[in-house]
Amino acid sequence: MSEPMFPTLDEALTRLASTEHLLVALDFDGTLAPFVDNPEESRAIPEARDAVARLLEVSHTTVAFVSGRAVDSLSRASESPDGILLVGSHGAEYRFDGVDTHPPLSDGDRARVATLSGVLAVVSSEHPGTWVEAKPAGFALHTRGLPDELELAANEAARRAVADANLQVKVRDGKDVIEFSILSVTKGDALRHLRDYTGATAVLYAGDDVTDEDGFAALGEGDLSLKCGPGDTVANYRVASPADVAAVLATLAQERAATGR
């Protein structure tokens, strides 16, 4: 973990609550929602939903979900609370104030996506228990529930097959998932864009996975980075579970509201 600016998370939250415009950016799976086998059935825990709703009621406060999911999938799983900003596909898709934006894909890009689809379909068919989730610019090969050795074999086969196809895609390791995208944007890019878009004077970002490290690294002095669960991190603070993240958000909502904003 990085050296925190304040010795305790409570002190850091109090300082953050007093900023002029606060951006609360949150990863979804593993941070607000516990892992489940079927991503379509994933939902934020009630405590997290309540805390997000309270933050959304405070003026000069913006809340965003920043996910590896495609933005449509994120919208369904998060049930897209009123006023929320959505970032999908690790920063490749935005849904802000009802407007969708994403980088245009050239014909060549679409051809690479189609080739990638075929390559991963073959890998999945050769590795029972895996399945492929489609996204606008890539795919996730899911391995949840497989024994470690089978998961490893599927991941290695996918990496090899994609490398052999010479597609030059971005590879992201996640929790029981390996992702391949023709776009290389990161959650760090997403947080920089969100900061500009909202004019935030301070940012909280919470996440649990390797891809969230790009988000943490994009934060600076006066911001707060919160890692959920175990694993190496550059975040300043750590909690154990989505329930703990929800408690942090509830505290922040309470303190932020008390500032009179």
Tell whether residue 35 is a contact of ligand L263DTV3 (CB under 6 A): yes
Distances (CA, A) of 55 to 11, 133, 200, 215, 243: 18, 32, 14, 20, 16
Spatial contact of 237 and 12, defined as CB atoms under 8 Å apart: yes
| Piece in contact with ligand L263DTV3 (CB under 6 A), picked from 43-51, 94-102, 153-161, 170-178 | 170-178
Q: One symbol per residue from 57 to 96: x for binding ligand L263DTV3 (CB under 6 A), - otherwise; what is it?
A: ----------xxx---------------------------
Helices (H), the chain: 9-17, 46-57, 71-78, 107-126, 148-164, 187-198, 212-217, 242-258
Residue closer to ligand L263DTV3 (CB basis): 189 or 255? 189
**Binding-site member from 12, 29, 185, 205 for ligand L263DTV3 (CB under 6 A):** 29
Kindly state whether residue 36 participates in binding ligand L263DTV3, applying the rule CB under 6 A: yes
Which of residues 147 and 199 has its CB atom nearest to ligand L263DTV3 in the complex?
A: 147
| One of 47, 72, 176, 255 touching ligand L263DTV3 (CB under 6 A) | 176
In eight-state DSSP terms, residue 29 is B
Q: Does 242 bind ligand L263DTV3 (CB under 6 A)?
A: no
Contacts of the segment 222-227: beta carbons below 8 A, 24+ positions apart: 222/5, 222/15, 222/19, 223/16, 224/12, 224/13, 224/16, 225/2, 226/9, 227/1
223 binds ligand L263DTV3 (CB under 6 A): no
Residue 94-123 contact track with ligand L263DTV3, rule CB under 6 A, x = bound: ------------------------------
- Of 133-152, binders to ligand L263DTV3 (CB under 6 A) are 133, 140, 142, 144
Tell me: does residue 174 bind ligand L263DTV3 (CB under 6 A): yes
Number of residues engaging ligand L263DTV3 in binding (CB under 6 A):
22
Measured in Å, how far apart are the chain's first and last C-alpha atoms? 32
Which residue number, 58 or 119, has a Cβ lying nearer to ligand L263DTV3?
119
Angle separating helix axes 46-57 and 242-258, nearest 10 degrees: 20
Whether the Cβ atoms of residue 212 and residue 103 lie closer than 8 Å to each other: no
The residue (of 58 and 139) whose beta carbon lies closer to ligand L263DTV3 is 139
Calculate the alpha carbon distances from 23 to 109, 235, 243 in Å: 33, 17, 20
Among 86, 169, 177, 202, binds ligand L263DTV3 (CB under 6 A): 177
Alpha-carbon Rg for the chain in angstroms: 19
The rounded Cα 15 to chain-centroid distance in angstroms is: 24
The CA distance from 37 to 57, in Å, is 33
Interface positions with ligand L263DTV3 (CB under 6 A): 27-30, 35-37, 39, 42, 67-69, 133, 140, 142, 144, 174-177, 179, 209
